[in-house]
Every structure is written in structure tokens, then in C-alpha cells.
Amino acid sequence: MMYKAIVIGTSYGGLEALKSILPRFGKDFPLPVIVVLHIGDHNNETFVSYMDSLCPLQVKEAESNEQIRAGFIYFAPPNYHLLVESDFSFSLSTEAKHNFSRPSIDVLFESAAWVFTSSLIGVVLTGANSDGAVGLKMIKDFGGIAIVQSPCSALSPQMPRAALKMARPEYKLGLDAIADTLISLAATAP
């Protein structure tokens, strides 16, 4: 299977989880990585800059109308839903919160599933609500791959548990195995 993008959703405990995954992607990693981290209205500029200093790939906040490209890790801006459009660009929305969250993992995952269909990999990490479960199921329904962090390795197991129950993912992995699995799956990219 040829994959074209990875979407990752996380909430409580997500900063540490992402720090153990994203820096492992080498400079030649062939897929764009799109991340929703629940941070509410707080500015994530400091975290994005910090992650950029740790990662071989360029880390940045996604911008409206920006084309999605390999070699980048994109973060949803605070207080905006991040969506993938049919021309493989981003759009931002201030529509109502979904699962008490804006940005919402489900909103990103669902829009990405419509565009990337079976060439999408979805990942749900630690978090304290159920955001991401519906979107991850949709990724699977469109033929993509679903990965969920093992609840016992999550700082907050509610989000992984909800995703496991609803999406029945191909992979349930400890945090230390997720990066290796994504690197292996990405090796099949065009």
C-alpha cells in the first residue's frame, strides 16, 4: 500500500508523547505529518519552535490555503479546526468546538479521510476525552490504517480506549513502538 500522509491526534500528555515520536523521523521521511494537539486557546508557538529544534523535518503551524508537502510536520493553530481540502491544501475553521475541542482531532481526521482515502495513516495518542475515535474509524472505513497508543502506556488512557473501542485499529502499540511502525509504513510511500 502506498501511503501519502499521516494524521496524529493527542491531548493530555501529548507533548511528551510527540517528543518521543516526531524527532525519530529522518530528513528523508517521505510523508507529511499533520498533528492536532489539544491546547485550547493557548499559543503553541513555543512548542512548535522547540519541536522544530528537535526534529530533522521542518515543524510549523499549518496555514490556510497552504499546500501539504512531504518534509513537514504541521500543527493545527490554537483555537482553529484544521481541515484538509480536496486540492491537498489546508483550511482553518472557527466553527463550534467538537468534543469540547478546537482544534478537533475528529474534524482533521474526517476531512483527511475524504481526501487521502486509503492512503492515510491515522494515529491516536494519549488524551483525556474521546476526540479522535470517530475520525479514526472513518479513516479505517475509507481503507486507511489506524494506530492507537496502548492505554497502559498513555499518561491519560481515555482517548486511546475510546479509539480502540470504536475504530478497532490494525495496531495497538506502546509509545516506543509507534515511530518505528510509522517509519516502516512510510517506506512504502511513492
| Side-chain-facing half-sphere of 55: CA atoms under 13 Å | 25
**Cα 46 to Cα 1: distance, rounded to the nearest angstrom:** 36
| Chain Cα centroid distance, residue 85 | 16
Residue 64 a catalytic site member: no
Among residues 101, 106, 130, 131, which one is catalytic? 131
Residue 91 a catalytic site member: no
What angle, rounded to 10 degrees, do the helices at 133-141 and 158-167 form?
A: 30
Residue 150 a catalytic site member: no
The single residue listed with the C-alpha cell 479521510 is: 113
Among residues 38, 101, 104, 111, which one is catalytic? 38
Among residues 11, 104, 111, 119, which one is catalytic? 11
- Catalytic annotation, residues: 11, 38, 131
